[in-house]
Amino acid sequence: MSKIGQLPIKVPQGVTVEVSGSNVSITGPKGKLEVNFKKDLVEVKVEEGNVLVTLKKESKIARSLWGTIRMLIANSITGVTEGWKKQLELVGTGYRSEVQGNTLVLTVGYSHPVKIEAPEGITFKVEKSVINVDGIDKQVVGQVSANIRSSRPPEPYKGKGVKYVGEVIRRKAGKAAKAAA
């Protein structure tokens, strides 16, 4: 029995959820998202302002998809009402970032600037050394943030690079500290 899958999802005011075949369409104030599911394994119903996800047949695959589909729908409802946000921080002397139209331009110690295009539905904001990635689709926001971080991942000796706000970087002792010990 899935502890997550059996929970109902409350649909907030101003959000419409429509189930057609193997698609769930969620429309809200910030936009529209769709979630696909296997209709022969899982059933999605909208009843009295709640979305219910139930199993159609008992199998290992169906049980594993049950909670996943429920969370995908819940994350989509959160996305179209509040949106998703990730913050990244630039650590290092001379590391800069700026937004040019729909493109994020990073100067992170290479001989050339790193340009990252924003996919549809994603916006970049830069405040000092913090980059904000906003959007309605949680998966896309996370993937774009990971792409930005991979342009210059934080290194373990000085901690320089692009990291998530609040991320803890495990530091290593350098050559001088190892020789003294």
Domains 9-81 and 84-164 in one fold:
yes
pTM: 0.88
Pick the CATH number of 84-164 from 3.90.930.12, 3.30.450.20, 3.30.70.100, 2.40.420.20: 3.90.930.12
Grade residue 174 by pLDDT with cuts at 50, 70 and 90.
Answer: confident
The residues, ordered by sequence, that sit 6+ positions from 102 with a Cβ below 8 Å of its Cβ are: 117, 118
What is the tens place of the pLDDT at every residue in 11-21? 999 999 999 98
Query: What are the boundaries of each domain within the chain?
Result: 9-81, 84-164
Grade residue 24 by pLDDT with cuts at 50, 70 and 90.
Answer: very high
Residue 30 has pLDDT above 80, yes or no: yes
Q: How far is CA 15 from the centre of its chain?
A: 21
The fold for domain 9-81 equals Outer Surface Protein A; domain 3 (3.90.930)
